Amino acid sequence: MSDQPSAPVPGLPDRPVVTAGIVVFDGVTLLDVIGPHTAFALAGMNVQLVAETLTPISTDTSIRLPPDVTIERCPQDLDIVCVPGGSVGDAMLDIKLRDFLRARAATARYVTSVCSGALILAAAGLLDGYRAATHWASRDLLAALGVEVSTKRVCMDRNRITGGGITAGIDFGLAVVGEVLGREVAEFVQLGMEYNPKPPFNTGSPETAGADLTALFTTVTKPIFQPMADATAQVLARRVAR
Amino acid sequence: MSDQPSAPVPGLPDRPVVTAGIVVFDGVTLLDVIGPHTAFALAGMNVQLVAETLTPISTDTSIRLPPDVTIERCPQDLDIVCVPGGSVGDAMLDIKLRDFLRARAATARYVTSVCSGALILAAAGLLDGYRAATHWASRDLLAALGVEVSTKRVCMDRNRITGGGITAGIDFGLAVVGEVLGREVAEFVQLGMEYNPKPPFNTGSPETAGADLTALFTTVTKPIFQPMADATAQVLARRVAR
């Protein structure tokens, strides 16, 4: 944490500046990034998008995301490391990224993920012995990596804070703000984001969506999840080989 | 609507391609854009970020957003015009943008907004005689522009669909998908986005946040809302002068 004093939210008690590094990689799900980013930024955190190079990152949408800083130049003293999800197969096998995550996780106050970003943390060994949440469709892969899977929307286990799929990044972002900067700041941010959800349908989880829709989703998205399953198998094979 | 047949979601019934233009401008709130963008894209829509130039747009965060197309080259036959919110004072007074919105609104199937984007539609006269939702902190300004304000999270009045503040863009995006492509597709998208919200606090609206926090927010954000109030006054003065 920086020594620089500042009030992240004017009108609320002074707090130290908190620095959050959100790791981005080709194939990242944009809303996994923007949900937490918005909550963190409204709370006055210094938020950096960290990537291997400064080349704009391809996302699940047509929007490319310009990183703020490379992993070489990323601040050493991140308070929060945050790994969003998406098509994470390549990122799970990326040695440079995994080394970076392990190095920052050793000193960070919180090691966190949203959605299938938990698979990247798990591939780096950073969820060994922890409970963690992930996108519902990634739960089997997270379990295969030896992690105790939580079905909670936000799972806190010591300094690991992990969120469920995509939109869970908003609940996650508010929960992290509450944990790091206090409930008062988080409540202010929630009011600003008008997070008073009223989903127009009731299919936000496999339990409420039912077996047929869940099976359809799993079939349709197999091309997205297969590379993540393959990466999981490779991670496990290397562990056995060690 | 394009004649090109396609299945926006493989496994669901074939549907025509729907083109959505999301207008972006300096000061836009990124999550206002990315919530609907994600829902629309997962539903297989062709989504275009439209701006006056292709220069990356400054947002409420440190992330700059690269537009896809200029308003000159934007497809004539948008099915959905969507205006997100943010620091909208300049956009409310932008004659070129207002002319563009009026031209596309004349032929679009749906004219929509999220958050304080409703103020831009209202400044362009496109909410005259309609009910509309907006960010709770912008309701007074929307009413001042002669619009009947709805406190609903998503308000549908004929072909105007408007959402509340920031995170309401997710509820809005799903509601628009349901309206345009059918409930089946929207339910699929909601499952994919795991939109099963569990807000960690209960301050997502002025009603639940209470008077003190709401007053604090209003005081703290006065520098953001004052230019929007000034723009509202200018729009009204010009109307009187006509």
- The string of pLDDT tens digits covering residues B189-220 is 999 999 999 999 999 999 999 999 999 999 99
DSSP tag of A49: E
Asked whether residue A13 carries a pLDDT value surpassing 70, the answer given is no
* pLDDT, tens digit (0-9, with 9 covering 90-100), for A151-174: 999 999 999 999 999 999 999 999
What's residue A12's pLDDT? Answer: 66
Of B41, B171, B220, the CB nearest to A197: B171
Q: Which of the residues A195, A219, A220 would you substitute to probe the B interface, choosing the one with the greatest number of B C-beta atoms within 10 Å?
A: A195
What's residue B144's pLDDT? Answer: 98
Of B201, B205, B216, the CB nearest to A11: B216
**Which residues, 6 or more positions from A193, have their beta carbon under 8 angstroms from its beta carbon?**
A38, A39, A42, A170, A174, B31, B165, B166, B167, B204
For the structural domain made of A19-197+205-241, what CATH number should be given? 3.40.50.880
CB contacts < 8 Å between A and B, how many? 220
- Determine the 3-state secondary structure of B155 from DSSP: strand
Question: Which of chain A's residues have a Cβ under 8 Å away from the Cβ of B29?
Answer: 38
**Which residues, 6 or more positions from B72, have their beta carbon under 8 angstroms from its beta carbon?**
none
In terms of DSSP bridges, do strands B160-163 and B19-23 run parallel, antiparallel, or are they unpaired?
Answer: unpaired
Asked if A74 is an active-site residue, the reply is: no
What's residue B5's pLDDT? Answer: 37
- CB distance B170–A167 less than 8 Å? yes
Of A62, A115, A201, the CB nearest to B174: A201
Asked whether residue B87 carries a pLDDT value surpassing 50, the answer given is yes
Secondary-structure percent of chain B, ordered helix, strand, coil, rounded to 5: 45, 20, 40
Q: What do you get for the CA distance between the two ends of chain A, in Å?
A: 36
Q: Which of the residues B9, B161, B191, B214 would you substitute to probe the A interface, choosing the one with the greatest number of A C-beta atoms within 10 Å?
A: B191
Closest-CA distance of chain A to residue B101, Å: 22
Question: Which of chain B's residues have a Cβ under 8 Å away from the Cβ of A200?
Answer: 154, 171, 174-175, 178, 186
Nearest to A100 by CA among A63, A48, A65: A48
Q: What chain A residue is nearest to B179 in terms of C-alpha separation?
A: A200
Nearest to A36 by CA among A20, A25, A51, A50: A20
